[in-house]
Amino acid sequence: MSEQSAEDKPGSEGSRTRHLSTFWRCILLAWTVVSILLCFNQQFTLRFFVGLTLLDTEYYWGLVLVLLPLAFILYPIKRGLHQDHVPIYDVFLFLLTTAIAGYLIYTARTSAAEGWEYSAPSIAGDLALGSALAMWALVLEALRRAGGWVLFVIMGFFSLFPLFAASMPPPLTASSVDLLDAASYHIFSRESVLGIPMRAFAELVIGFLVFGTALQYSGAGAFFINLAFALCGTYRGGAAKVAIFSSGLLGSMSGSVISNVLTTGTMTIPAMKKTGFRPSMAGAIEACASTGAVLAPPVMGATAFVMAEFLNIPYSEVALAAAVPAALFYFSLFIQIDFFAGRHSMIGMRREEMPRLRDVIREGWYFIFVIILLVVMLLVMKRENWAPWLATGLLIVLNQLFSDKRWGWNELLAFIEGNGRVFVELVAILAGIGLLVGAFSLTGLTGTLTTELLYIAGDRPLLLILMGALTSFVLGMGMTITACYIFLAVLLAPSLIQAGLDPLAVHMFIMYWGMVSFITPPVALAAFAAASVAKSNPIETGLEAMKIGSIIYFVPCFFILNPSLVLQGSFLEFVIHFVTALVGVVLVCAGLQGYMGRIGDLRRCGLLEWPVRIALMVGGLLFAAPGGGMMPLSSLQMTAAAVALSLPALAVAWIYARRPAVA
């Protein structure tokens, strides 16, 4: 579920993480187990079976105590340095972070009672303030090691912002505070290091991370790929449809783009190349399918849980809202591949090469059963805190009873270590990002920026939307999805909401536009990772991914202008917009690929091919874009314009398709 999952082997040259000795690996395993038990105790209110109930701040600092110090053990001070041993200064930082976190747990009740976040502590003031300053610095250093220099510079600047806010030019001007007051707020309040990002991790993300890792180590990847081959493999372009289906299923469970590309892609990309797809095309398809998976429920990525905390709504509501845009995106991928295969007269793979559906389900039926349980717990019973834990427990039990991939001690230890490495990375990143939220909360700058942005936009909310899309895209190039989302959720989202846009649609819009950099050059991390598997040109693969995944650039514009597509409106309005969106997607795909189902190859139109294709794309966008809301035209007017443009183009294509083909 981390967007920056390590692609390299720990300890190898140039690796982000170092190879751990037996001693430090044991520490990682032990503290990972403690963090899981802490979360399990808190979610199920077990009170440690002795009646002891932790304050939320005690629980959060407990997770920091067992996970944040390990950032200095897992991540060297410089990439590639001290890969095979832990130097003495990292041991010192590990011990110092552990000691300070322990002190913060010890003083949590006193801090809450006396309001330490707003005033210097009355007892042990020097020790408390010194601890706050040291923890501030340690959080930033852990962020630098786990998240990179870009995040460190941005979050370091904004965490210090309250010190010189009065000297900033408008609209960034705010009241300044001194260093000690800023440190107190960052560490002792529930708005900064222990703010929304860390709370989302502690309350929800841990459980879903454990569930995703359990799926990975129990062989779910092979099951989903075999299921996709059995269902889609024999149709035209079947290997690409397998990639879309399997990457969508597995990625929606794991929530990680890059790791999804590098796991499913190693099987699907060679299969696509074997059946006639160009290497760059095969890599682009896998990149798009893996990117979209993080936007697809039920699990999605860590950002979705942070969104639920920001909006103060159940995660299930976020997951439901994400379902329709994700369905439109995957529908567009399927249609584009089908039309591409039709245009190039491609066929599917041979039936005898495919696994039998009956055999696949018989061997992995319990994966389907577990996912159904997860969905029911999330959407029907509304037990989102319990859902991943119960689903994980059931998965492990069923795997041990019915699978030939039963876990032994080695698999169990690998499962725990895999969780631990992701936990440490996310805690280091989310605690550091929390400093940004705390800085704007302390200065009250969010309200000022909202007013200024609304003044700049005037009565043109479309300008604000354009600013939001561009800013999200640019920040998505240099930051993780979660960091980019939180940055804009604090700075930009309030302005869009006050302009009259739906809050859930606004936050989903920001997340979507932060994601598009995964398939858009020059960054295009997902496309570049897929290119390494496909052995294709990375830029060419990124450009192909932009074309194949083009609908992802339009879908967020559709639902922010009229939120019925994120289930914020009447049922009838949703049905109308969803049906017209499906029609629009088909027309856009036909224009992009130069082929239309039931009509055929648009090259038969001769000189009229490109006018027909452009008319289909524009008409499709008019069909898909919902009318009403902030749109100048009603739904009926939009549909009428779409019909007026696309129907003549379809008629021309149909007439030319009936003529004999010219050699």
Q: Does 607 fall in a domain? A: yes
Query: Which pLDDT belongs to residue 650?
Result: 93
Query: Which pLDDT belongs to residue 6?
Result: 39
Q: Is the predicted pLDDT of residue 465 greater than 50, yes or no?
A: yes
Q: Does 224 fall in a domain? A: no
Query: Which pLDDT belongs to residue 223?
Result: 87
Query: Which pLDDT belongs to residue 1?
Result: 54
214-231: string of b/e by CB count within 10 Å (b at 16+)?
Answer: bbbbbbbbbbbbbbbbbb
Q: Does 178 fall in a domain? A: no
Band (9; pLDDT cuts 50, 70, 90): low
* Domain total of the chain: 1
Band (621; pLDDT cuts 50, 70, 90): very high
Question: Average pLDDT, whole number, for the chain?
Answer: 87
Q: Is the predicted pLDDT of residue 139 greater than 90, yes or no?
A: yes
Q: Does 413 fall in a domain? A: no
Per-residue pLDDT of 501-517, as tens digits, reads 899 999 999 888 888 88
State the Cα–Cα distance between residues 300 and 292, nearest whole angstrom.
9
Residue 276 carries which DSSP code?
Answer: T
Q: Is the predicted pLDDT of residue 337 greater than 60, yes or no?
A: yes
Band (5; pLDDT cuts 50, 70, 90): very low
Query: Which pLDDT belongs to residue 459?
Result: 65
Band (660; pLDDT cuts 50, 70, 90): low
Number of neighbours of residue 655 by Cβ within 10 angstroms: 13
Name the more confident of 260 and 457. 260
Output Rg (C-alpha) for the chain, integer angstroms: 26
- In this structure, are residues 271 and 380 in contact, taking their beta carbons and an 8 Å threshold? no
Per-residue pLDDT of 626-646, as tens digits, reads 776 667 777 788 889 999 999
- In this structure, are residues 72 and 94 in contact, taking their beta carbons and an 8 Å threshold? yes
Name the more confident of 468 and 653. 653
Q: Is the predicted pLDDT of residue 216 greater than 90, yes or no?
A: no
Mean pLDDT of 530-540: 90
Q: Does 577 fall in a domain? A: yes
Per-residue pLDDT of 247-284, as tens digits, reads 887 777 666 788 788 878 888 898 888 888 899 999 99
Query: Which pLDDT belongs to residue 124?
Result: 62
Q: Is the predicted pLDDT of residue 499 greater than 60, yes or no?
A: yes
- In this structure, are residues 552 and 327 in contact, taking their beta carbons and an 8 Å threshold? no
Mean pLDDT of 322-334: 91
**Owning domain of residue 574:** 570-663
Q: Does 200 fall in a domain? A: no
Band (468; pLDDT cuts 50, 70, 90): confident
Mean pLDDT of 380-401: 90
Per-residue pLDDT of 185-208, as tens digits, reads 999 999 899 998 999 999 988 998
Q: What are phi and psi of 194, to 5 degrees?
A: -100, 30
Three-class secondary structure of residue 87 per DSSP: coil
Band (11; pLDDT cuts 50, 70, 90): low
Per-residue pLDDT of 164-175, as tens digits, reads 988 888 777 788
Per-residue pLDDT of 75-124, as tens digits, reads 999 887 778 889 999 999 999 999 999 999 999 998 988 888 887 676 56
Structure tokens at 614: 């452009």
Q: 600: which strand partners?
A: 596
Mean pLDDT of 38-64: 92
Per-residue pLDDT of 548-568, as tens digits, reads 988 888 888 888 888 888 988
C-alpha distances in Å from residue 484, one per residue of 211, 263, 314:
25, 25, 22
State the Cα–Cα distance between residues 340 and 602, nearest whole angstrom.
12
| Alpha carbon of residue 251 to chain centroid | 10
Name the more confident of 658 and 581. 581
Residue 406 carries which DSSP code?
Answer: -
What pTM was estimated for this model as a whole? Answer: 0.85
Mean pLDDT of 52-58: 91
State the Cα–Cα distance between residues 193 and 428, nearest whole angstrom.
10
Per-residue pLDDT of 59-89, as tens digits, reads 999 999 999 999 999 999 988 777 888 999 9
Residues 6 or more apart in contact with residue 277 via CB below 8 angstroms: 237, 239, 240, 285
Q: Does 622 fall in a domain? A: yes
Q: 595: which strand partners?
A: 601
- In this structure, are residues 1 and 256 in contact, taking their beta carbons and an 8 Å threshold? yes
State the Cα–Cα distance between residues 91 and 108, nearest whole angstrom.
26
- In this structure, are residues 319 and 297 in contact, taking their beta carbons and an 8 Å threshold? yes
What percent of the chain is predicted at pLDDT more than 90?
38
Q: Is the predicted pLDDT of residue 417 greater than 90, yes or no?
A: yes
Mean pLDDT of 1-24: 66
Q: Which stretch of 1-15, 57-71, 289-303, 592-606 has the lowest confidence by average pLDDT?
A: 1-15
Q: Is the peptide bond before 171 cis (omega within 30 degrees of 0)?
A: yes
Q: Is the peptide bond before 121 cis (omega within 30 degrees of 0)?
A: no
Q: 601: which strand partners?
A: 595
Query: Which pLDDT belongs to residue 425?
Result: 92
Continuous H helices in 376-444: 387-402, 409-443
- In this structure, are residues 346 and 352 in contact, taking their beta carbons and an 8 Å threshold? no
State the Cα–Cα distance between residues 646 and 637, nearest whole angstrom.
14
Query: Which pLDDT belongs to residue 171?
Result: 73
Query: Which pLDDT belongs to residue 280?
Result: 92
Query: Which pLDDT belongs to residue 283?
Result: 93
Query: Which pLDDT belongs to residue 663?
Result: 45
Q: Does 661 fall in a domain? A: yes
State the Cα–Cα distance between residues 247 and 490, nearest whole angstrom.
32
What percent of the chain is predicted at pLDDT more than 70?
94
Mean pLDDT of 585-605: 90
